[in-house]
Structure 1
Amino acid sequence: MSGQTKRISVGFVAVVATTIIFWVPFYFVIINSFKNQQDAALMSMSWPKTFEIFSNYKAVLTAADNMLLRAFYNSTLLTVLSIVILVFVSAMAGFVLQRREGGRGSSLLNFIVLAGLMIPPAIVPTIWVLNSIGLFKTLIGITLVEVALHFPFSAILYKAFVATLPKEIDESAFIDGCGGIRLFFHIIFPLLKPVTSTVVVLTSINVFNDFVNPLYFFPGASNATVQLTLYNFTSRFTSSWNLLFADIVLISIPPLILFIFFNKKIVAGMTAGAVKG
C-alpha cells in the first residue's frame, strides 16, 4: 500500500469516526425534537410521523415564564463580560511574563500561572470570599470567577505568541518616547489578533456552556444560564423527551455556529505560538 493510499484510508476512517461520534448523536437529538411526545419516548432515529417543530420549540421558549430567554440573556452577558476582561488581563500578563522572562521573580510568576491550571477550584472558600465582599449571586461575582479560571490558559497562549514578536519593536518604541502602556495598547496588542481570536472563541464556548460555576456561584431562578435550564427542564420535562431535546438543540446552536465559522482561527492562533515560540 502506497503512502498516498494510506493517507486517504486514514482520512476516510477519521471522517467516518467523526460522523459516528459527533453527528449521529446530534441527528438523534434534532430528529426527536421534531416529534410528538409519544414518538420521542421511543428513542428511535426514525423520521417523525408528524412534525411538531413549532409547538415543541414554542413550549420550550415559553416554559417557566420564558426561563430559556432569560437564560440566553444571562449567558450572553456573562460571556461577553468575561471575554472582554479576560482578553485584556491575560494579554497584558502574557506580554509581561514573556518580556521579563529570566528576570527577578519570573520563575515564581510562571509557577503561579501554571498552578492555576493544575489546582482545582475550591467551591466553599470561593463562595465564602464572594459572600464576604458582597458578590455572591451577582453577575460581577460569577464573571470574576470565570476570568480567574480561564486566565492561566489564556496567559500561557499570549506568552507563547508574544515570543514570536521581536524585542526590537519594544526598543524602537521606547526610543521614540513611547511608554509601557502606550507600547502595549498601540503596538503590541494589535499584533496579537490571531491568538486573541483563539482565546475569544475557546473561552466563549467554555463560558457559555459552563454548568458547574453558575450552579454554585450564581444560583437563583432569575440568574439561570442556558446549561442550568437543561438541568431544570430535566425534571420538568421528564416524560416529554421531545421538549427536552428541543432545549438541547436551542442551547447548542450558538457554540456550534461560533466553532464552525472560527475553527480555523483557533488552530492558527494556537499553532503560531507553539511553532515559533
Structure 2
Amino acid sequence: MAGIIAIAVSIVVFLVPFLFIVLTSLKTQQESSLLEFSWPTEFAFFDNLREVIQTRDYTVVRAFVNSTLVTVSSVTVMVVLSAMVGWVLQRRSSRWNPFINFLVLAGLIIPPAVVPTIYVMQQLGIFRTLHGLALIEVAFGMPFCILLFRAFAATIPRELDEAALLDGAGPLRLFFLIAFPLLRSVIVTVVVVQSVTVFNDFANPLYFAPGAENVTVQLTLYNFQSQFYTSWNLLFTNILLIMVPPLVMYVFFNRQIVAGMTAGSIKG
C-alpha cells in the first residue's frame, strides 16, 4: 500500500508538471496564454523551437556553450580536488582533521554571502567572467563531494596502500594509479549530480557572472518574460530544451548514481 501511495505522489509531483510543460510547448501563443491543462488544437512546437533558438541573435546557443564550458571545467576540478581531500581525510589521522571536517560541514550549512563574495571576485579580477563563475561553482559544490569521497574511501582496504608503498609508489602515484580508479562509482555519482546542479544553477550566474556574454541556459528564461506579458509557449519550450541534457544523464547513469550514493554506507 505504501508503495502505491509513493508512486501516486511521484506522479502528481513530477510527471504532471512535466506533462504540463510538454503540452504548453506544443501550443500556439494564443492558446498557451490560457494556461490550461489540455491537448493543443494546433501543434506549433517546431515553430516555437525555432523562435526560441533565434531569439536575441541565438542567445540560447551561446548560453548552452557557456553552460557547457562552466559545467565541464568546474566539475572536473571539483572531482579531482574533492577526491584528494576526501582520501587524505580518511587515510591520515591528524589533529587538524576535526577542524577541516568542521569547515566542510560549514560549507554545507552556512549560506553563501553574496556581497562579500562579489567584492573578493572584483579584487581578483574574476567578477563577470566565466572562469570566475566556474570557481564559485567549485567552492560551493566541494563540501558535498568531499563527504561522498571520504565515505567511499573507507570501503577501500588499507592493505592496498601498504602494498603500493612497499612497491615504491609515492603519495601522488598511490592516489592517481591505485585509489582514483577504485573511486569510479562515486566519481560517476559526483559527475552526474554536480553536472546537473551546475548546469541548472540560476542564482550564481545571476549574481557573479552578469552580462549578455556570460549568459547561461537558466538565464535565457528571462527572454520570454516581461513586466506585463509572458510568452508561455516559448518559455515552456525553452524549459523543455534545458531539461533535455540533465534528463538524458539521469536516464543513462541512474544505477551508477544510486551505487555511488550508497557505497560508503557499509564498510567492508
| Structure 1 residue 181, shift from structure 2 partner | 0.3
Query: 2:102 and 2:96 mapped to 1: Cα distance?
Result: 10
Q: Encode CA deviations 1:130-183: one digit per residue, 9 max, x unaligned.
A: 111111111111111000000011001000000001111111111111000000
Equivalent residue runs for 1:230-249 within 5 Å: 230-235=221-226, 238-249=229-240
Query: 1:159 and 1:249 mapped to 2: Cα distance?
Result: 36
Identical-residue share of aligned pairs (%): 54
Aligned residue among 257, 265, 272 for 2:263: 272
| Structure 1 residue 76, shift from structure 2 partner | 0.8
Aligned residue among 227, 249, 253 for 2:244: 253
Q: 3-state DSSP class of the match of 1:50? A: coil
Q: Is the 8 A contact 1:237 1:243 kept in 2?
A: no
Residue 25 of structure 2 corresponds to 33
Residue 118 of structure 1 corresponds to 109
Q: Which runs of 5+ in 2 are unaligned?
A: none
Query: 1:50 and 1:223 mapped to 2: Cα distance?
Result: 36
Q: Is the 8 A contact 2:105 2:143 kept in 1?
A: yes
Say yes or no: does 1:177 pair with 2:168: yes
Q: Is the 8 A contact 2:224 2:230 kept in 1?
A: no
Q: 3-state DSSP class of the match of 1:27? A: helix
Q: Is the 8 A contact 1:209 1:226 kept in 2?
A: yes
Residue 142 of structure 2 corresponds to 151
Residue 54 of structure 1 corresponds to 46
Query: 1:106 and 1:228 mapped to 2: Cα distance?
Result: 39
Q: Is the 8 A contact 1:237 1:244 kept in 2?
A: no
TM-score normalised per structure 2: 0.97
Query: 2:107 and 2:27 mapped to 1: Cα distance?
Result: 45
Equivalent residue runs for 1:25-174 within 5 Å: 25-101=17-93, 103-174=94-165
Aligned residue among 7, 12, 18 for 2:4: 12
Q: 3-state DSSP class of the match of 2:84? A: helix
| Structure 1 residue 235, shift from structure 2 partner | 2.1
Equivalent residue runs for 1:212-231 within 5 Å: 212-231=203-222
Q: Which runs of 5+ in 1 are unaligned?
A: 1-8
Q: Is the 8 A contact 2:104 2:143 kept in 1?
A: yes
Query: 1:104 and 1:246 mapped to 2: Cα distance?
Result: 54
Residue 192 of structure 1 corresponds to 183
Residue 16 of structure 2 corresponds to 24
Amino acid at match of 1:40: S
Query: 1:125 and 1:87 mapped to 2: Cα distance?
Result: 26
CA RMSD of aligned residues (A): 1.4
| Structure 1 residue 236, shift from structure 2 partner | 8.7
Query: 2:70 and 2:227 mapped to 1: Cα distance?
Result: 25
**Larger displacement relative to structure 2 (239-248 or 182-191):** 239-248
Q: Encode CA deviations 1:92-140: one digit per residue, 9 max, x unaligned.
A: 0000000113x22111111111111111111111111111111111111
Q: 3-state DSSP class of the match of 1:235? A: coil
Q: Encode CA deviations 1:192-242: one digit per residue, 9 max, x unaligned.
A: 001001100110010000000000111001111011111343229934211
| Structure 1 residue 274, shift from structure 2 partner | 1.6
How many residues end up aligned between the 2 structures? 268
Query: 2:106 and 2:32 mapped to 1: Cα distance?
Result: 46
Q: Encode CA deviations 1:21-71: one digit per residue, 9 max, x unaligned.
A: 111111111111111111111111221111111111100110011111111
